[in-house]
Structure 1
Amino acid sequence: MTTKTALITGGSAGLGRALVAALSDQGWHVVTDGRDAARLDRLRDLPGADRITAIPGDVTDAGHRDALRAAVDERGGLDLLVHNASALGPISGDTRHRLLADTTPEDLQYVWRHNVGAPLVLTSLLLPRLAASRGVLLSISSDAAVEHYAGWGLYSASKAGLDHITLTFAAENPEITAYAVDPGDMRTQMHQDWFPGEDISDRPLPETVVPHLLALLSSRPPSGRYRAADFPALRAADRAVV
């Protein structure tokens, strides 16, 4: 059986790492990246480490995106592209909860490059491979893309933009299926960064979300925006079908 290949951005921590672990354990070859090389290096401790290609770098960097494409080309195909890496905003002082009226052009550029620009360009680079396999484009969204939270405006707008380009890729390329998925609140470092000093232990771990994403990939509904919780988690015995 031919090994499937996935590219997951931001795979060194949180939901990205949990998804890398799950797919590599199922026999997928996973290409992934992260800005923290030391943290990315810890992927070698996963059971499926021999099926993981980890490339340190920032997805907003053109040279790094070329390295990701080269790794995919070396595999000879791409079945799944997951846009998981993202930025809350320039985090220093009170900028994490900056109101729209106080947002600077530099804030906008930083968040938009990470959350919209990089996924757009990377998808375009990999589209021929993804289309050839009739693969899946999966973008990790947020409820903030459709809700309106004071202080979250720039991040929210970027996630709404990510949803839009993800589903427009599907409209323009019927060979692929595309999903923008709200994973729900999770107990991740990124979430903790947004609520410094607060106890977020009531949030579920990202590992609990992964079975719902696998169920989505297994059921392969039409392209669209979904909530991970809408897909009942697959039993361990059924996950090999993904």
Structure 2
Amino acid sequence: MSQERNALITGASAGFGLALSRELVRRGWRVVGTGRQAERLERVRDELGAAFVAVRGDVIDPAHRARLAEIAVGLGHLDLVVNNASALGPSPLPTLADYPLDVLEQVYRTNVVAPLAVLQVALPLLRAVDGVAVNISSDAGVEPYPAWGGYGSSKAALDQLTAILAAEQPGLSIYAFDPGDMRTEMHQAAFPGEDISDRPTPESVVPVLLRLLEQRPKSGRYTSADFATEVVR
């Protein structure tokens, strides 16, 4: 493409979102990245320079999403949207019998409602350049792991939302992508006190997602194993 490629990534200040932002900027993309913690987001901006447009805020906040929409429209098009921001819920993870319902509502607002709200704004900008939308999923949305009911059910809802949106938007590539376990703060919070150093780093999973973007299969749900050519620790 002759024009600059633009990406919108939520949860871009840490973990997989940060690793993906770094690689896209390295490849010449402009990334609009969101995050809740101003200090972290500023560090990413200082590291990546003008190619990283930092927008602090929480994706569940309509005012923040309105600001994202304003910036995205100003870019003219979006080649990629990655809904990466997620809420785990309480740590340690509670069973559903003891799950605080107000927290469950917050998890769903972050993991289900916000990604749809972002894509409602982004769809016209993606259509302009045959762009790609990716919602980050989890195997917890498929497997019934005890104590993962809040997070897992929200990701199951996100998977179904993604599938229906893809059916309604046949002209776009819309994916749910399960990156697998990664060595991130959120994964550590899910296993407090445990050693998770054996999990792959987010940086090692980014090339897998990029292969998905390059190959552009039919819209659907994919895992990192579907596109991994080697395991990198």
What range is the shorter-chain TM-score in? Answer: over 0.9
Task: Tell me, yes or no, if the aligned pair for 2:16 and 2:202 is still in contact at 8 Å.
Answer: yes
The equivalent of 1:171 in structure 2 is 167
Alignment of structure 1 residues 148-227 onto 2, 5 Å: 148-227=144-223
The equivalent of 2:114 in structure 1 is 118
TM-score (norm 2): 0.94
Q: Deviations over 1:43-73 (max 9, x none)?
A: 1343x42211011100000010011111111
Which of the numbers 104, 112, 137 marks the counterpart of 1:108?
Answer: 104
Q: Deviations over 1:184-207 (max 9, x none)?
A: 111001111111111111111100
Task: Tell me, yes or no, if the aligned pair for 1:77 and 1:129 is still in contact at 8 Å.
Answer: yes
* Shift of residue 103, structure 1, vs aligned partner: 2.1
* Shift of residue 232, structure 1, vs aligned partner: 3.5
In structure 2, the CA distance between the partners of 1:233 and 1:21, relative to structure 1 (3 Å rule), is farther
Helix, strand or coil for the counterpart of 2:105?
Answer: helix
Helix, strand or coil for the counterpart of 1:32?
Answer: strand
Task: Tell me, yes or no, if the aligned pair for 2:45 and 2:53 is still in contact at 8 Å.
Answer: no
Aligned equivalents of 2:125, 2:6: Cα separation in 1: 11
Helix, strand or coil for the counterpart of 2:145?
Answer: coil
Aligned equivalents of 2:170, 2:5: Cα separation in 1: 20
Q: Which runs of 5+ in 1 are unaligned?
A: 235-242
Helix, strand or coil for the counterpart of 1:133?
Answer: coil
Aligned equivalents of 2:35, 2:229: Cα separation in 1: 27
Aligned equivalents of 2:179, 2:189: Cα separation in 1: 18
* Shift of residue 105, structure 1, vs aligned partner: 2.4
Helix, strand or coil for the counterpart of 1:198?
Answer: coil
Q: Deviations over 1:18-59 (max 9, x none)?
A: 00001111111110100001011111343x422110111000
Q: Which runs of 5+ in 2 are unaligned?
A: none
Report the aligned-residue RMSD. Answer: 1.4
Task: Tell me, yes or no, if the aligned pair for 1:182 and 1:226 is still in contact at 8 Å.
Answer: yes
* Shift of residue 157, structure 1, vs aligned partner: 0.4
Structure 2 residue 67 is matched with structure 1 residue 67: yes
Aligned equivalents of 1:177, 1:31: Cα separation in 2: 20
Aligned equivalents of 1:207, 1:229: Cα separation in 2: 15
Task: Tell me, yes or no, if the aligned pair for 2:6 and 2:77 is still in contact at 8 Å.
Answer: yes
Aligned length: 229
Task: Tell me, yes or no, if the aligned pair for 1:24 and 1:49 is still in contact at 8 Å.
Answer: no
The amino acid that maps onto 1:3 is: E
Task: Tell me, yes or no, if the aligned pair for 1:81 and 1:138 is still in contact at 8 Å.
Answer: yes
Helix, strand or coil for the counterpart of 2:72?
Answer: helix
Aligned equivalents of 1:199, 1:105: Cα separation in 2: 30
The amino acid that maps onto 1:218 is: E
Task: Tell me, yes or no, if the aligned pair for 1:100 and 1:153 is still in contact at 8 Å.
Answer: yes
Aligned equivalents of 1:233, 1:72: Cα separation in 2: 34
TM-score (norm 1): 0.91
Alignment of structure 1 residues 24-103 onto 2, 5 Å: 24-46=25-47, 48-91=48-91, 96-103=92-99
Aligned equivalents of 1:42, 1:176: Cα separation in 2: 33
* Shift of residue 143, structure 1, vs aligned partner: 0.6
Percent identity over the alignment is 53
Helix, strand or coil for the counterpart of 2:175?
Answer: strand
